[in-house]
Amino acid sequence: MWAITFIVLAVASQGALSFNALPMAHRQLANIMLKTSVSMNEHPERNVLCFPIYSQAIAEANERYAVSYNECLDVALNAQNAVESEVANDRSNVYQQGEDVCSSFQGCSKIESSADYFQCYHNAAGTSLTKSLEIQTLAKNTMQYIQLRHQTIEYDKNYCTNKSTDAYIKESTALYTQLEQCLAGGASPPSPTTTTDPSETTTGTLPPPTQAEFH
């Protein structure tokens, strides 16, 4: 079952193969899943009645979870790409300034007359100092901007995937609880509830800083 795979992965990815290391909500879901699978084995005759009612809703919850989780990853990827486009000009500026420094020294190397040759290197060295400082400043500001944007994107991604996971855990726990009650021979099953609008799981945090603030 896909959801059980999810729980196993969640446990494994936390590096602690200990059930107690799971957040409470995850533990509740894992517990009820375990209980449900035991009940399914113990009451095969009730499976026929109960399982068809909930399997569809459980599959839909899994599907919604996969979609909303992937949306979080897409948003993060698009934001990363946007940062790359934002710094494209700075990239070519730094490159061009570096090329200018190199070509000024190369130009000097071709001069025959020693007097002009040294005069040329003297001038080129002076110009390259100024240019190197400009390169240093631009590179540093852009680098810091990129780091800050990456932190924000990472935070937003975690916020989004956490929210999507929480919604999934809550919804699945409710569905498995109802299935378990049905298997245990409780009152005849109600129609399963559908919850969580997947459009709710968008990031809701501070707007990103603009690159202009760094120049």
* Residue whose structure tokens are 């609008």: 197
Q: State the minimum distance, in angstroms, from the CB of residue 155 to ligand NAG.
A: 5
Q: State the minimum distance, in angstroms, from the CB of residue 147 to ligand NAG.
A: 18
Contact (CB, 8 A) for 108 and 71:
no
Q: CA torsion, points 202, 203, 204, 209, in degrees to nearest 10?
A: -140
- Cα–Cα distance between 5 and 200 in angstroms, integer? 25
Q: Closer to ligand NAG by CB, 68 or 97: give it.
A: 68
List the beta strands (DSSP E) in the chain: none
Q: State the minimum distance, in angstroms, from the CB of residue 23 to ligand NAG.
A: 6
Q: State the minimum distance, in angstroms, from the CB of residue 61 to ligand NAG.
A: 20
Q: Closer to ligand NAG by CB, 87 or 160: give it.
A: 160
Q: Closer to ligand NAG by CB, 23 or 107: give it.
A: 23
Residue 90 CB neighbour total at 10 angstroms? 19
Given the rule CB under 6 A, which residues bind ligand NAG?
23, 155, 158-159, 162
Q: Closer to ligand NAG by CB, 13 or 85: give it.
A: 13
- Cα–Cα distance between 54 and 91 in angstroms, integer? 55
